[in-house]
Amino acid sequence: MNEPLLTRLTWFQKQFPLEPSFRWKQIQTGLFHPNFTDWHQVLTIPFSVRNKLKEEIPWLSFVIQNMFVSKEKNTYKALFSLQDGFLIESVIMKNTRKQWTVCVSSQVGCAMRCTFCATGKMGLKRNLLSDEIVDQYRFWQIYLSSHISTSERISNVVFMGMGEPLANYESVREALHDLLAFTSLGSTRITVSTVGIIPRLEQILTDPKWPAVRLAISLHSADPITRKQIIPSSYDDFFKKLITWSKKYQEKIAHRRQHLTFEYILLRGINDDEHHAKALVKLIHLITNVRVNLIPYNITDPALKKTSKQQMDFFQNYLKEHGVQVTIRKSFGDEIQAACGQLVI
C-alpha cells in the first residue's frame, strides 16, 4: 500500500520536534516569497534544516506536465502531476484591469456529478492536501513574474477549479489561512464556490477558525425539480435549508462587502425561461443581500445547450427589473478547455 501523503507541516513536526515555534513561520514565509524557487534561498532558517528540507521536500508539491495558453494570452491552464501521479488542473486569468485571478482545484475529480460539469464526470479520486492547494497559487506567482509580466499581480483567488471545496473542508480551511497569512490577499479577494453542502455551510457559521472569505453558491436553478435534475447531489429540501442558512449567514457574517453570491449557469430550455427567472427572484427576495452571477454554459456535454445571447439578456433584465443585483460572467479560456466546468483529466 502507498504511504499516505503528508503535509509539509506534519513532516516538519515529526522531523524537527525540538525546533522553536517561529521556525515553521519562517519556512512558510520563504515558501510564499514571490521570487524564491529553492530551499537554499530561505536564509532565515538554519543550514541544517534547509539541507534536510532540500533532500526530502520538493519546493512545489507537484510538477508541471503541460501548459495551455489562450490566443489572447489572458488565460493559462496548467496541468500538474501530484506526487502520487494524480493530475490536476489550475488556471490563471487576466481581467481588464491587468490583474490576475488564480482558479484553484481543491480535489482530484469531484463526487458531485453535476450534469454540466466535466470534472463531475471523472468521479472523486482524492482530496488535495492544503499544500497542494496553496502551491497552485505559489506556482502561478512564480510563473507570472518569470513568464508573463514582472509588473502584473495576482489580485484574487477563486476556488472554482476541480472539486467541491467544502467536501475537503479541513484542507481548504488550512489553505485559506495560509493564503491570508502569507500573501497580500485580503479576505474579500478570495472566493470559495460551493455546490451548497448544507452541513458544511452550517459548520462555517459556528467555526471560529473559518476565515471570512467570500462564498459563492452554485444555485443554477431556484426550482427544486430542475435543480435536482442538473445537480443530482442536491438535497430534497435544499431551498428550505438554504433560506434558513442564508438568513443566519447574513446575521452572523455578511456585511456590505461580504455579500453572498449565487452562481447560475444558463442552460437552454432547462433553467432560462421566465418561470425560472421568477422563481429566482422570489428566492432572492426572501434572502436579500445576494448577488447573482449568471454564467454562460461552457459546453462539456452535447446534450446541454447554451442559452442564446438574447435569452441571456432577457433573463438578466428580468432580474434587474425585479431589484436583483446581477452580473454576467465573462467566460475565459474556452478554446483551451480552461473555462469553468471544463477541467477534466
Instruction: Indicate which residues carry an active-site annotation.
Output: 89, 340
Q: Is the CB of 39 or the CB of 245 nearer to ligand SAH?
A: 245
Cα separation, 224 vs 210, whole angstroms: 29
The least CB distance from residue 339 to ligand SAH, in Å, is 6
Q: Is the CB of 117 or the CB of 154 nearer to ligand SAH?
A: 117
Task: Determine the interface stretch with ligand SAH among 54-62, 109-117, 172-180, 272-280 (rule: CB under 6 A).
Answer: 109-117
The residue of the chain with the least Cβ separation from ligand SAH equals: 341
Task: Verify binding: residue 61, ligand SAH, rule CB under 6 A.
Answer: no
Chain centre distance of CA 38: 27
Pick from 193, 221, 246, 271 the residue near ligand SAH by CB under 6 A. 193
Pick from 92, 104, 129, 195 the residue near ligand SAH by CB under 6 A. 195
Task: Verify binding: residue 298, ligand SAH, rule CB under 6 A.
Answer: yes
Burial 223-250 (b: 16+ CB within 10 A, else e): bbebbeebbebbbeebbebbeebbeebb
The least CB distance from residue 9 to ligand SAH, in Å, is 26
Task: Verify binding: residue 218, ligand SAH, rule CB under 6 A.
Answer: yes
Judge residue 323's burial from the number of C-beta atoms within 10 Å of its C-beta, 0-12 exposed, 13-18 middle, 19 or more buried: exposed
Q: Is the CB of 145 or the CB of 233 nearer to ligand SAH?
A: 233
The least CB distance from residue 238 to ligand SAH, in Å, is 13
Task: Verify binding: residue 295, ligand SAH, rule CB under 6 A.
Answer: yes
Helix-strand-coil split of the chain, %, nearest 5: 40, 20, 40
List strand residue ranges (DSSP E) for the chain, in order: 62-69, 75-82, 87-94, 99-103, 107-109, 124-127, 153-159, 190-194, 214-218, 260-266, 290-296, 325-328
Distances (CA, A) of 245 to 196, 212, 234, 282: 10, 16, 15, 16
Pick from 100, 239, 297, 332 the residue near ligand SAH by CB under 6 A. 297
Binding stretches for ligand SAH (CB under 6 A): 114, 116-117, 160, 164, 193-195, 218, 263, 265, 295, 297-298, 300, 340-341
